[in-house]
Every structure is written in C-alpha cells, then in structure tokens.
C-alpha cells in the first residue's frame, strides 16, 4: 500500500523526537539526515542496478538495524558511515555526525537506546524510497526539503541560514526564465549555495525538471556536505559542489585564465546579509575584476555589493541572474551609491522585487530580489519594480509567502503589468533624477491604511462620502448595493446615514440582488471549470504526472475566474485550490499514479463500526452518504434519542442527589440498578409513592439508554459489514465518480464558497467600524461627560454632607 507524503513527513519528524533535548536542531539535523541518507541509498540500490552510490558489504541499512541493542552501536555506526564515505568519496557528507558523542546522545544505555530508536523510525515499512510513485514525484527530495525547512525553523536566528524558503526559490527560478534552459549544457550556478535548496528549485523549473547542469560553492564545510547530500537525494548526481569562501577563494575559475572567473548561463544566490570584514581574504583591486577603483569597492563593513558584483562577473554575455539582498542595497550612499550607478548604467538590473519582512530564517529584516540580465543590457530603458511586501501570512514566528503571493508576483513579472500600489516600470531618466536611489517607496506609492478622521462628522454626525468611496471595489461589482446600505443626508451634502442597524448589515449585503448575482456568477465559473477539467481528471491513470496536472488545473482556474468581474480576488481562488491540493488532492493523485483507480479498504482486526474502516482515496464517510444514508440517519436519530434520555437522567440525578437518589441511601454508597431495585422493594411496604416514582424513573431511563446503545451497536455492525462488501464491489467508474464529484469537487466548492463569505464578513466589519467611528457627535460626548460630572459632583457633595453631619454628632 502506497503511503501518503504527509504520513512520511510525520514519520521523519518523529525521528527528531528521539534527539530533541540533548541538542538544538542545528546539531541533531546531522544525525537525522545521515540516517535518512543511509536508508535512501540502501532502498535505491535494491531497486536500481545503475545506482551510482556503492554500498560496501555490511553497510546497508539492514546492517544498521542489526546494531540495535548493541552496546557498541555508536562506534559501529560511525565505522559503517566512514566506510560508505570512503568508498564513494563522500567524506564530510555522510560522516559529519558522531554517533558516539555522549554529550549529545547520552551515555551508556541512553546512547544505545537513542541511536537504536533513531534507526527504528527509519525501519518503518512505509518508508521505502526504492522507487518513486510517479515519474514526477521526487518523494525523497520533498522529504529532505521538509526536514530542512523544519530544521531551519528550529535552529534560531543565527543557524537557519543554510536554507532558502522554497517559495522564494520558486520565484527566482521562474522570473529568470529557467523554463527556457532547454539543454543539459545550460549551466546554473549558486556561489553561496547553502544546503542547495535554491539550486534544486532552479533545476526543477527547467524543462522536464532535470535540464541543465548545477554548480555551487559554500563556505561552511558542514553545510557544503548538506548540499552534496541534497543533490544525491534528489537524484542530481552530476552536481558540482565545492567548498570555500567565494570572496577570497572562488573555486570556479576559467580554464583559460586563472585570473578570471568561470561564467554561467544562470547565476542565483541568497548570500549572507551585510557581511562584515569581507575584504579579509580579498584585495581592493580584485584580480578577478569583480571590483576596483573604476567599478567601486564595497565598504569593508558591509559585503552585500561584493556578492552582487561576484554574481554579475560570473554571468556569461547572455546570462541571467537573481540575488536576494537586504533593502539597504537599494538606497545606501557613498561607495555603494557609486557601484549602484555603475550597475544601473551598464543596464544589468532588469527588475527588483521587494519582499515581506521576517521571511528568511537567518534575519528578520526585509529583503529584495534583484533580477539581472546581460543579454538585453545595452537596450535597457528602465527597471521593472514590484512591491510585494504585503503579500504573506504568519507562520509561527516567521512570515511565509502563500501560493497566491508567489503566483501573483510571477504573473505580474511575466506580463510587465503596471498595477497601482504594486508594480510599475520605472524609466532610467526617473532613476537618474533620483540620483540612482532605487528605494521602492520612491517609485511605488504605498497604500494609505491610516484612518482619516472627518472633523465635521465628529461634530455633527453622519458618514463621510470619502470613507464610503474607499469601498469602491464593492460598489463597482455590486452597483446598487451602496444605495441599499446608505442614504444621503439631505441638509448636508457629502454625508450619509446607514439605512440599517449594525447587526443587520451583513444580512442586508448577503440578501441584496447584486451580491446574490456575484455568488451565482462565481458558482457558475466554478461549475464551468469543473466541467472543463473533469475529463482530464477521469483520464488520470498509472504513470500520470500530478505536478503537471496541478499546473494545468491552476492555470485554468485563474483563466476562468479572471474572465469575469468578481469581488473575489482570483488569486484568492487560486490559493484555495492549491491549499486543497497540498493537503489532500496531491496525495490522492500520487496514489492513482501508482495504483490506478483502486480504493483498498483497511479493516481493523475486529471491526464493529465504520470507525474501524479507512480508505485513503475514497473516505468511508463518502461511501456511507452515497450508499447507506438510511442506516446513517437511523444511527443519528438513535444517538439523538440516547443523548436526550441521558440528559433527562443527568437532570434527575442532580435534582434528587440530596434526596431520593442520594448515595448515602444505598449500600456501599453506590448508585446502581441493584441498589435501586432493592430500595424499591423496601419502600413497597411503606407506600412512599414519590420516592418510588423517582427511583422507577431512574431505572426506566437507564433501561432506555441501554436499549438504544444496543440498537446503535447493531446498526453500526450492520453498516460496517455492508461497507466492507460494498468496497469489494466498487467498479473503477464508481470510484472515479465518487472521488472526483463527491470528494474533490465537493470539498473545493465548499472551500471556494468560503471566499465569498470572507468578502461579506470583511465588508460588514468595515461598515460597522465606520458607523461606530462617527456614532457619537462631539456635543453628545460633551453632554455625556457633563452628565457624568454632575453625578460625580452630587455624589461628592452627599459624602461631604454626611461627613459634616457625623462631625456635629461627635
């Protein structure tokens, strides 16, 4: 049975639980990744005779499993790791972690148990990396990416720099046209590659996801090892990763001239921000021509431009590049201003994308992506700038780009589309007039979110026209909604009153014909898209490529919704599709790609209810609603009846707890049926009808509850048996219909309807806030204050009078 990615991620993160406490994530990641690597190469070697990694005798993952419980397990693991490293020239890649380190893993039995437990997690039968489920499913690579992101998140500010967020990497890969890298001879280079995540995202953006050759350099030796491991786990065996300081010791030099850098077709980088003392290993007159007195020399206390100049020098004559740098590079003066003037004058900068703050794991400051292009530099008329600082969501202590943010940036970039407050093309003449200052707010006006207070409205009341006009997007889409909500104040031009009470605003919006029309058109678009893609979904089969599928589905939903005039943001619609894809639909499609349209039912040892059954592709709940809704309704009705009787019983016990049903009245102070019956027999002689009635009511309710429970159990067993038989008889046509219509389309429809509900909620909240802002006029507030002041004075006066009276009496 194929395991879901979400389950694999859970298992992998569970391996970290064995190590947390003794060290932080920046340390325990070495142990986890080393074991993951051994598991991967062992599984691959069993299934792929041409696999490039050689596993020495006695060093497969099965041999590691045999070490569990061995008192020398740490030492033996180290030996096997070293042997694999030596055999495959992978020293510093797989043998970084010391499995004998008692300070991190514990001593004696604790170390034996910790290492054994770590091996045991990877021993799970579901973790089989021998072959991917689909031609485009990089299962191992995705698992590694998942771990690296979580390690970076847990490593803290100073230790998370080995990872570039995947969303940022995807933007870079798409804006430099890597989809046109149609030959293996195309070269992709990252001079500060970290763990290699940016390089691999770049490679995945090329045709077929493998076109192009990767080169990378990383200063930190341990991180360079991570990058090499990353390449192997992603199946990129030809990657050339070298270790060294890119400023003082660039490792990629021209074959013809040792004083010249090797150049590449694509250069990408996320260098460390604002490196101090960067000149330590270099010279002011750089022998490689990156900086000099003519170009400018970056200030010694800030190396941002040193990295940027290295990238530019490493691009060939038609090369493209992109670099992530702090916003300061756009506007800082002195030496950096002169370098900026040089770069702009050469036409190297094609675009700038301003990113949200707190996005990267190594720093909380805002950054930007500088997009470079040498091919068209001579004819460049200006720079296209995107201000994407507001497009993100909170993700724990960091911010994260959503799918819609990534897609919006890429679409706007590809179309070179001027959008107010978001993007525009800035001509060179304007940049020159600003003395080569590229600070984004100089060119793109930020949306004014400040609340403007209308003095007259505060004095006299009413809602100002300017405030109502700010909701123009709503009034454009729903032309008559404005007049349904607001009426002009006749004696005061430019001021309005709200026609309904605050608590009626949302109802007024949602019942208005224009808003209803919006919902109808919105649903019509979804139905049209569903009809358009249904055949494509039905044609999914073994070997299908889910990554290609979701690109097609998302492109079509953007086009379909983009053709209409909606209150809903089309990228919000796109986001909901991608969220559902990532959470559910992706796993389903990979299951289909591996096994076809099959819905195997997992059954517990002694199944007694539908809760003992499960199916990944076709949830049991859907089958119940489709085939056995009558039994489900009977169970629900019986459950409601039982709950009602239980409530009556609870109320009776509470009511009579200090009287007839007090536990002190019964043997061993226990309230049970035997004691109740015994008590009734005793009371028969005394003829106490009230107590007997209470006790008999108790027994009656208990009996009814028992009988209903018995009925529910019988119904559940019956439903369970019917489901087992039904799943055996399901045809491929049945499964397709239920999964596509009842699972995918139904879930997506519910999610997309939430987009319209959010719009209604947002407009409602804004209108109520506006109404509240001017609810009380200044004169009303003054009168209220005067009234309160009067009451306070009267109270003080009465206190003084009482005090004087008491003093006279004394």
The confidence score (pLDDT) of residue 83 equals 95
- Long-range (24+ apart) CB contacts under 8 A made by 93-99 are 93/37, 93/225, 93/228, 93/229, 93/232, 94/34, 94/37, 94/38, 94/229, 95/34, 96/30, 96/34, 96/222, 96/225, 97/30, 97/31, 97/34, 98/74, 99/31, 99/73, 99/74, 99/75
Q: Roughly what angle, to the nearest 10 degrees, separates helices 746-773 and 513-538?
A: 150
| Residue 198 to residue 162: CA distance in whole angstroms | 10
CA atoms within 13 A on the CB side of 432: 8
| Residue 175 to residue 351: CA distance in whole angstroms | 9
The confidence score (pLDDT) of residue 600 equals 93
Beta-carbon contacts of 38 under 8 Å, excluding residues fewer than 6 positions away, are 61, 64, 80, 81, 84, 94, 122
Q: Kind of pairing, strands 367-373 and 315-326?
A: antiparallel
CA atoms within 13 A on the CB side of 655: 11
| Residue 665 to residue 445: CA distance in whole angstroms | 80
Structure tokens at 484: 């349904």
266 neighbors 187 (Cβ within 8 angstroms) = yes
Residue 514, judged by CB atoms within 10 A of its CB (0-12, 13-18, 19+), counts as middle
| Residue 99 to residue 79: CA distance in whole angstroms | 10
| Residue 742 to residue 721: CA distance in whole angstroms | 22
- Long-range (24+ apart) CB contacts under 8 A made by 535-539 are 537/740, 537/744, 538/736, 538/740
Residue with tokens 């709950």: 643
Beta-carbon contacts of 674 under 8 Å, excluding residues fewer than 6 positions away, are none
**Among candidate residues 102, 29, 797, 740, the one with its CA nearest the CA of residue 361:** 29
Report CA 363 to chain centroid distance, whole Å.
Answer: 19
The confidence score (pLDDT) of residue 126 equals 63
Tell me the backbone φ, ψ of residue 260, rounded to 5 degrees: -130, 145
- Point out which residues pair with 603 in neighbouring strands: 613
Indicate the DSSP class of residue 179: G
**Among candidate residues 472, 500, 471, the one with its CA nearest the CA of residue 485:** 500
What b/e readout covers 339-352, taking b as 16+ CB neighbours within 10 angstroms?
Answer: bbebbbeebbbbbb
- Provide the whole-model pTM: 0.85
226 neighbors 279 (Cβ within 8 angstroms) = no
Q: Kind of pairing, strands 213-218 and 495-498?
A: unpaired
E strands within 766-810? none
The confidence score (pLDDT) of residue 182 equals 80
| Residue 334 to residue 89: CA distance in whole angstroms | 47
Find the length of the chain. 810
Sign of CA dihedral 400, 214, 237, 551: positive
| Residue 519 to residue 756: CA distance in whole angstroms | 7
| Residue 187 to residue 166: CA distance in whole angstroms | 21
**Regions of the chain with pLDDT less than 50:** 1, 133-136, 157-160
Structure tokens at 335: 């030496």
Indicate the DSSP class of residue 462: -
| Residue 429 to residue 504: CA distance in whole angstroms | 54
State the maximum Cα–Cα separation within the chain, in Å, rounded to a whole number.
117
**CA angle at 733 for the pair 730 and 737, rounded to the nearest 5°:** 100
Rg (C-alpha) for the chain, rounded Å, is 35
The confidence score (pLDDT) of residue 157 equals 43
| Residue 280 to residue 159: CA distance in whole angstroms | 22
């Amino acid at each position: 049975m194929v395991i879901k990615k979400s389950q694999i991620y859970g298992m992998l993160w569970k391996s970290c639980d064995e190590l947390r406490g003794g060290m932080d994530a920046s340390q325990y990641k070495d142990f986890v990744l080393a074991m993951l690597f051994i598991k991967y190469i062992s599984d691959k070697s069993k299934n792929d005779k041409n696999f490039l990694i050689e596993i020495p005798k006695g060093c497969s993952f099965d041999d590691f499993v045999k070490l569990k419980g061995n008192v020398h397990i740490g030492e033996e693991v180290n030996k096997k790791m070293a042997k694999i490293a030596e055999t495959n020239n992978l020293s510093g890649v797989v043998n970084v972690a010391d499995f004998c380190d008692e300070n991190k893993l514990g001593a004696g039995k604790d170390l034996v148990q910790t290492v054994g437990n770590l091996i045991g997690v990877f021993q799970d039968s579901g973790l089989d990396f021998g072959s991917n489920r689909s031609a485009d499913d990089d299962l191992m690579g995705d698992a590694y990416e998942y771990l690296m992101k979580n390690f970076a998140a847990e490593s803290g500010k100073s230790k998370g720099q080995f990872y570039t967020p995947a969303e940022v990497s995807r933007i870079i890969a798409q804006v430099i046209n890597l989809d046109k890298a149609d030959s293996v001879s195309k070269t992709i280079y990252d001079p500060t590659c970290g763990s290699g995540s940016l390089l691999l995202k770049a490679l995945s953006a090329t045709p077929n996801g493998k076109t192009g050759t990767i080169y990378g350099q990383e200063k930190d030796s341990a991180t360079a090892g991570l990058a090499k491991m990353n390449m192997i786990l992603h199946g990129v065996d030809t990657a050339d990763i070298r270790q060294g300081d890119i400023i003082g010791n660039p490792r990629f030099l021209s074959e013809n001239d040792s004083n010249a850098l090797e150049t590449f077709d694509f250069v990408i980088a996320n260098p460390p921000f604002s490196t101090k003392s960067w000149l330590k290993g270099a010279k002011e007159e750089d022998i490689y021509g990156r900086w000099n007195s003519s170009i400018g020399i970056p200030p010694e206390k800030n190396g941002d431009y040193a990295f940027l100049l290295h990238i530019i020098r490493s691009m060939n004559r038609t090369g493209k590049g992109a670099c992530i740098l702090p916003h300061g590079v756009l506007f800082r003066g002195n030496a950096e201003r002169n370098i900026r003037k040089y770069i702009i004058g050469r036409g190297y900068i094609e675009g700038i994308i301003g990113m949200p703050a707190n996005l990267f794991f190594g720093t909380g400051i805002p950054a930007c992506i500088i997009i470079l292009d040498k091919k068209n530099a001579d004819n460049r008329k200006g720079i296209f700038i995107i201000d994407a600082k507001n497009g993100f969501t909170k993700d724990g202590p960091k911010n994260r780009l959503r799918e819609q943010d990534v897609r919006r940036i890429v679409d706007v970039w590809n179309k070179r589309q001027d959008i107010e407050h978001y993007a525009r093309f800035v001509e060179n003449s304007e940049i020159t007039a600003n003395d080569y200052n590229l600070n984004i707010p100089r060119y793109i006006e930020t949306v004014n979110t400040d609340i403007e207070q209308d003095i007259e409205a505060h004095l006299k009341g009413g809602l100002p026209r300017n405030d109502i006009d700010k909701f123009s997007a709503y009034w454009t889409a729903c032309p008559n909604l404005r007049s349904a909500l607001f009426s002009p104040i006749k004696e005061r031009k430019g001021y309005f009153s709200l026609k309904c009470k605050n608590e009626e605003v949302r109802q007024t919006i949602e019942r208005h014909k224009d808003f209803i029309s919006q919902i109808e058109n919105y649903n019509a678009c979804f139905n049209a898209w569903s009809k358009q893609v249904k055949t494509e979904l039905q044609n999914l089969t073994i070997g299908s490529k889910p990554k290609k599928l979701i690109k097609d589905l998302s492109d079509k939903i953007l086009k379909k919704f983009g053709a209409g005039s909606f209150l809903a943001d089309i990228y919000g619609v796109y986001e909901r599709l991608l969220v559902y894809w990532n959470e559910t639909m992706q796993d389903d499609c990979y299951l289909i790609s591996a096994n076809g349209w099959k819905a195997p039912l997992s059954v517990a040892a002694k199944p007694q209810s539908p809760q003992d059954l499960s199916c990944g592709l076709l949830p049991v709940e859907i089958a119940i609603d489709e085939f056995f809704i009558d039994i489900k309704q009977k169970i629900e009705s019986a459950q409601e009846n039982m709950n009602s009787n239980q409530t009556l019983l609870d109320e009776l016990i509470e009511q009579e707890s200090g009287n007839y049903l007090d536990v002190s009245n019964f043997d061993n102070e226990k309230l049970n049926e035997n004691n109740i019956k015994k008590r009734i027999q005793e009371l028969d002689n005394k003829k106490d009808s009230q107590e007997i009635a209470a006790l008999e009511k108790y027994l009656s309710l208990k009996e009814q509850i028992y009988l209903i429970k018995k009925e529910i159990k019988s119904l559940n067993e019956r439903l369970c048996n019917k489901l087992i038989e039904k799943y055996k008889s399901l045809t491929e046509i049945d499964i397709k219909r239920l999964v596509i219509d009842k699972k995918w389309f139904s879930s997506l429809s519910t999610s997309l309807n939430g987009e319209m509900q959010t719009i209604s909620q947002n407009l409602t909240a804004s209108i109520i806030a506006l109404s509240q802002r001017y609810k009380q006029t200044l004169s009303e507030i003054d009168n209220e204050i005067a009234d309160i002041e009067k009451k306070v004075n009267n109270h003080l006066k009465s206190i003084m009078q009482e005090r004087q009276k008491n003093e006279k009496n004394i």
